Structure 1
């Protein structure tokens, strides 16, 4: 169970508690929310600039030599839309298109054919599995392995993905195909960071694209094209069907709903077995009684695959067992090694997979070491009736495969990254009434812990949810393991910023801990601390402070005055007092904690440096700059010496000191230091890194204080545009930037420009923080001022920016 603590660093940043600091040679954000930032050494950066792609480089998952019928006009239109740089692209991003439609409609086939047809027009064509952010990162990492194997062989997945992004920024003229996008927002970062090429996305999702890319809906095949496709697949290109066969094909194509995947599956079965078209229709009629015009394509596919699987089972029964198990995993890149327990003999495994491949039920990766299963195949197989043991076919086999792979000790990052999508797929596909298993819950927890140690706690929600459901059903609502799972899920929600879900879970967990373990059990104290932190994060200090006070008193009594958990509670309570403006109680508590950590840990331990910085921040808040500035200067000097000049805490300390100079009225010194910090952040982290955005925001505040309003507004407009594009519309940095720019507009006498920004900020604050949160009330007040100012037309009413102030975001101690 994680014990949440108020933290270290205390950077006076204008971006809130999720601001990200810097370190290393060069740092690159590799995910859409900007939360995953990867350091790259200078040598790797140089290779990213100097390495060129070989001619016609790419990783397309198949050739374009197969049957391609009825999509020529869509292919030509796609080329025109992607290459259009004229007026049609003014209001939307040029060089970006999303093809959407029903699963099995042929989106990926169209994208693949486009990539092959026009590959010579691009410097590189790269196919990306985009069902999740994790798979996007993995696909980008493979690009680094292709172009720079001498470095990539010893680099991890995040580092290789970061290298690939740098390479794409240096080398224009490429095509990226994002296949099977589940959430269009996952692409926001990549579309914004990579403008010098073409992006082509395929997705079953028709909504969510309006702010990202123009879309091209892909419909069913025309009847004539569907019949042509079915006849070609059934009889071969060399044999012309008779008029009677054409009529039968037309009838069957109508029964199949003109869905390309269903037509392909039927053609494969008919070609393999020699079954007559009319007989095939009769088989369908026994299991599906619907007119051709009212066929549900998914149900049609289900009936097609029922007969296809019968043929496969006659050929190789083990193949159907494999397919049923794969139905519960992620659809793409299922490692052959994961399936090996079913067929320890490689020859037997190859024969079983070959039977599936012959009927187009699976495809292989380029190196044939991984298997892909279409999502509709999985959907149909998952809806089979459960057996006498309560499990649908393949479900228990899939659980055992994943359990075995995890228990085998996959500590290697590359192996974990290969396995992770399938653990998540298993969790997401859990049947509603399937038997529960604590072993499966343990598997979900193991994967979640891997993500946690990678700094990706917000990505564990699906796994934590599945583990909690399994334990509630198997162990009961109040079992200690169930309580731990509930706490872990609350922590995942908290890390993702979803406090409306995190707080009730923490409250339920605390109540059950008190009831089951007692009021002073260590797990109860941890649970109380976690709930207090969640209240603190939501701005509800009236509930946070009493909980922190109770936790500290109990830890002092049970664990002792100098136990690490006691010191954490003391620091937490001081942070809550400071947030409430009660500096008379916060400062002595910080001073006591600093003295104890100096005595126990030493004067230069990172926790001691954190305490020193927190105390300086409290002096800063109290306006005691004579004590704050020397303490900030000392903390910065020690961090530079102990941690290095480019360590994240060191850069945070430098920003802190600049904010102290700013508050002391030494604007020139603050500007000089902030300009240095910004130059360093841009050089090391890049222009759009969250720390660069935060520092740019602070520098704009300093410019405004110096009276350079136009320069401040120009900088703030840049920050807001970058934050919206890179981090998203609701990220804390974006929210703060929007408020700062609105304040600057009011200072500049332009309330009409401020009002829309404040209206957006108010809506977001009410949605995520509530109508009575202090931030919500502040924004509402500023909006009223702006409207009054606009109405009266009496010039600007001075309001201050959300200037950088020392914050104590939560960490674990």
Structure 2
């Protein structure tokens, strides 16, 4: 280095590694890892003291005028941290309870927005590329070029960097942003030499900062902010997303893990190409390295993480092997113990995890015994596999799971306690199976987990396991092997439980045809398949096809298996269930009673299937309106299940729910509501907060609150339950639509028709689209929408809707089906309200006769119609007939429902009103509200034969 002239005035001089110069006319800066002393000429030192930065001077790489959402609190926190510390803050990145320092989280974006937001508070804002020492020096040198171009053009990069340090020492109040620091120790010299400003650093590295500067944790975007960002980028700032687009955006944002860079990349691609949000999800794995307009090709998610992976591989190659294996597991709560077989000892495992954690590719749980990986990291890794072999890490992941399920290669699965906590990882492994991926797994590899989930009534969770198992069976055993057919039938059942009804039917039909060809018409497995198909038909409301198939199956099972075989009894139970569903209680109840008798004789009084059958008989009594027999039977069944299965077994919880509902039907809310509350608490504890059965319990409790008059408690519970249904099952799952319908009913009961009617309309439209125009649930929605218009006095809309429902019910369900009678009763009430007694009276008379015939003289619905008929008689001046009917209704209500049931009180009030009006010579009567057809009930499903497993 050429010696420079000594300064005119004395001042401190500095030499040696990481020396500092803080005043005088000689500027000395140590940049890099060697010992270098920069002796600056006097004129350069003078310019360093005298040069002033223009107002707002800086070199920020981008504008901050783009879309920026969800980071307002972080901006405020960063400002508070910098002001409080007075010197430096380092932004790191943390996933939501999971990932620290992951590339793409928005570190640089946050720093950039901070710099733009507060740039006028600083004398200078300078952006420094800090990926290496050389880059830091070059960035500082560019500051000298900006402020002292007349001298900087004549000297080298190290001299210019030294001049920049000297200028910063003379002019306090600046902000230096060190972007993408690879080695925290590289900043130590600059933080010590430059104390009179703010330093802000961003880094993928989570470790090494404790001795450098305080850190700030930056999390993933909140779901709402992620959705807003994605919609704004994809659709444009001036467009408001439709409900469907917002739903699709929520799903895509979740797939992208609410990672800002991934959202930005997706939004730009969607806006440029016009691809739909749903379409982008389908090709997600293929576009992670695609840069649309406005996106730097080097800033795609795949490219950013590629650089990180290179750095990790250089540090610890085994860490990459470990990360690739974790890519095929569930993203959260990966036990260290599960990963241990990949390493000969714990020390090597700890070192590999340390390398991954240092670059924020994994995060530890609080006790550091489990790990998490961002789900998008997994997506990128799974799709960056080898082209001439299995994808990277797949074989290792299968080995890890196999090591737990089948220790030491055993043929039998390990005890449940050894692998139960790994179920999510087994499901993830099955879900991520690549098409055509070679595997050594036997066809029944996932069978222990499938069986366990079935025992826990969680068949829907097992769908990926069924699909992987079926694919392996087809590959190894062939398309029509009995084991393959059984696997296909079990997958169809899981589809049905999950609400994928058409997929279930199609798969059942295909399997039945194959079983008939391979095994014969009356093979037990063929009969089981026929039973399953009938049950699938019933689930979509095709009762004619279902009953016909149930009858055939029962007849064939009696012939082949005998009258008292367990499968024959299951068919008898299913046929009785179908008869009950179409309102044919005259055939349903005797079949259920006979089923209970046979179960008790063959299996014993307390066998689970006997209890199952007894529960269904109790429900049939309830459907018949015979609560005096239903409630004691429910109580006995619950007591037996508590004793035999335990207080929190899923079947026990179902019995408790059903008993609570029966209490509710009888008007006994004092017993019903606490029982619903207990059942809900137990389901949350046993099954989890978002399990479908838990959501049904929430719905039932809310409905009980509504009927007891506690709308302030019912509505919030229903709203949260519908939101959870949408999240867990999807917007159009039958249970979600049921919940949405019930929420509308709660709004209506609270008098909030302005909220109820649009929700009824939306639910009707969705049920029409998903289930068809004449599905029973669709008819219920149409009836309830008509009832809401009726309650609001809009008879011009209510009457035509009721007439349509009656016509469709007669066509689809039959003239005497309970739903048909309910809709006919409601139409008569609408005629009555419109003053059209000529049509109301004969229709009420017809409905009364039909309800007496179908439901019985004292069924609650029969009592409602009798009360309504009495009211229209009174309005028509037929007072004597009216009073006689009221008297009969009151007596029967007191006998069947009890003296304090709401319907009894209404009937008694109407009778008193009629008597008083008659004595005073007045006209008029009161029509009590007609019942709603749709309530979400957790009815015990019929026993389902699933065939050989």
Shorter-chain TM-score range: 0.5 to 0.7
Is 1:543 the counterpart of 2:549? The answer is no
Structure-1 residue corresponding to 2:419 = 416
Structure-2 residue corresponding to 1:618 = 620
Distance in structure 1 (CA, Å) of the matches to 2:500 and 2:939 = 20
Distance in structure 1 (CA, Å) of the matches to 2:321 and 2:349 = 11
Cα offset, 1:782, TM superposition: 4.1
789, 801, 813: which one pairs with 2:932? Answer: 801
User: Does the 8 Å contact 2:722/2:739 carry over to 1?
Assistant: no
Deviation readout 1:152-175 (Å, 9 max, x if unpaired): xxxxxxxxxxxxxxxxxxxxxxxx
TM-score (norm 1): 0.58
Cα offset, 1:577, TM superposition: 1.1
User: Does the 8 Å contact 2:550/2:571 carry over to 1?
Assistant: yes
Q: Which runs of 5+ in 1 are unaligned?
A: 1-69, 83-106, 113-126, 130-178, 181-201, 206-215, 255-259, 269-286, 704-710
User: Does the 8 Å contact 2:702/2:718 carry over to 1?
Assistant: no
| 1:370-409 paired onto structure 2 within 5 Å | 370-373=370-373, 378-384=378-384, 386=386, 388=388, 390-408=389-407
Distance in structure 1 (CA, Å) of the matches to 2:780 and 2:637 = 37
Distance in structure 2 (CA, Å) of the matches to 1:407 and 1:342 = 16
| 1:664-703 paired onto structure 2 within 5 Å | 670-674=668-672, 677=675, 690-691=696-697, 693-698=699-704, 700-701=706-707
576, 580, 594: which one pairs with 1:578? Answer: 580
Distance in structure 2 (CA, Å) of the matches to 1:587 and 1:239 = 88
**Structure 2 CA distance for partners of 1:607 and 1:699, relative to 1, 3 Å:** farther
Structure-1 residue corresponding to 2:432 = 429
| 1:704-723 paired onto structure 2 within 5 Å | 711=709, 717=715, 720-723=718-721
Structure-1 residue corresponding to 2:559 = 557
Distance in structure 2 (CA, Å) of the matches to 1:332 and 1:456 = 20
Q: Which runs of 5+ in 2 are unaligned?
A: 1-62, 78-89, 116-124, 143-156, 162-175, 182-199, 209-288, 798-832, 835-926
**Structure 2 CA distance for partners of 1:81 and 1:603, relative to 1, 3 Å:** farther
**Structure 2 CA distance for partners of 1:714 and 1:469, relative to 1, 3 Å:** same
User: Does the 8 Å contact 2:107/2:202 carry over to 1?
Assistant: no
Structure-2 residue corresponding to 1:724 = 722
User: Does the 8 Å contact 1:235/1:241 carry over to 2?
Assistant: no
Structure-1 residue corresponding to 2:465 = 463
Describe the SS at the equivalent of 1:264.
coil
489, 492, 517: which one pairs with 2:494? Answer: 492
**Structure 2 CA distance for partners of 1:610 and 1:303, relative to 1, 3 Å:** closer
Distance in structure 1 (CA, Å) of the matches to 2:92 and 2:302 = 22
68, 72, 90: which one pairs with 1:77? Answer: 72
Cα offset, 1:239, TM superposition: 13
Deviation readout 1:118-169 (Å, 9 max, x if unpaired): xxxxxxxxx745xxxxxxxxxxxxxxxxxxxxxxxxxxxxxxxxxxxxxxxx
Deviation readout 1:675-705 (Å, 9 max, x if unpaired): 564576588779997436425524644x5xx
User: Does the 8 Å contact 1:586/1:618 carry over to 2?
Assistant: yes
Is 1:231 the counterpart of 2:127? The answer is no
Is 1:264 the counterpart of 2:204? The answer is yes
RMSD between aligned residues: 5.3
Structure-1 residue corresponding to 2:762 = 760
Distance in structure 1 (CA, Å) of the matches to 2:514 and 2:700 = 41
Distance in structure 2 (CA, Å) of the matches to 1:771 and 1:715 = 33
Cα offset, 1:768, TM superposition: 3.6
Structure-2 residue corresponding to 1:658 = 663
Larger radius of gyration: 2
Deviation readout 1:411-448 (Å, 9 max, x if unpaired): 56675355334333333433334224443x54444433
Distance in structure 2 (CA, Å) of the matches to 1:383 and 1:749 = 54
| 1:45-444 paired onto structure 2 within 5 Å | 77-78=72-73, 109-110=92-93, 128=97, 219=109, 222=112, 230-231=129-130, 244=157, 264=204, 293-301=296-304, 303-305=306-308, 307-308=310-311, 311-312=314-315, 318-350=318-350, 352-353=352-353, 364-365=364-365, 367-373=367-373, 378-384=378-384, 386=386, 388=388, 390-408=389-407, 415-416=418-419, 418-439=421-442, 442-444=444-446
Cα offset, 1:750, TM superposition: 7.5
User: Does the 8 Å contact 1:696/1:719 carry over to 2?
Assistant: yes
Is 1:636 the counterpart of 2:768? The answer is no
Deviation readout 1:465-520 (Å, 9 max, x if unpaired): 23333333444332333323322322222222221322222222222222222222
Describe the SS at the equivalent of 1:295.
helix
Distance in structure 2 (CA, Å) of the matches to 1:261 and 1:433 = 46
Cα offset, 1:541, TM superposition: 0.9
Higher relative contact order (CA 8 A, sep 6+): 1
User: Does the 8 Å contact 1:330/1:421 carry over to 2?
Assistant: yes
User: Does the 8 Å contact 1:697/1:719 carry over to 2?
Assistant: no
TM-score (norm 2): 0.51
User: Does the 8 Å contact 1:223/1:250 carry over to 2?
Assistant: no
